[in-house]
Amino acid sequence: MSVLSVRNLPPETHRALKLRAAQNGRSTEAEVRAILVEAVKPQHPVGIGTQLANFAASYGGLDLNIVRDAEPVMPADFG
């Protein structure tokens, strides 16, 4: 875990954080953590399929022909 120190926080901000933390049943530190996590969370998370499609589109598209073998793949035998 990373550690972050915030210097020169105005007293009224600190009081507001303590109040908000108490209202949410958390410590001030936990409240600040929750605020920071929410602030940087993507608004519209993108799934892996969408990322792959966007990647392919950036190269003009890719055609994938996925075919399953009729027989299962046998594990390698090194013995």
pTM for the whole structure: 0.56
11-58 CATH, one of 1.10.132.10, 1.10.1220.10, 3.30.420.40, 3.90.1140.10:
1.10.1220.10
30 vs 53: which has the higher pLDDT: 30
For the record, the structure tokens of 29 come out as 């530190």
Strands (E) located in 2-79: none
**What average pLDDT score do residues 64-71 get?**
78
Angle between the 28-40 and 11-23 helix axes, to the nearest 10 degrees?
A: 90
pLDDT-wise least confident of 5-9, 53-57, 61-65, 75-79: 61-65
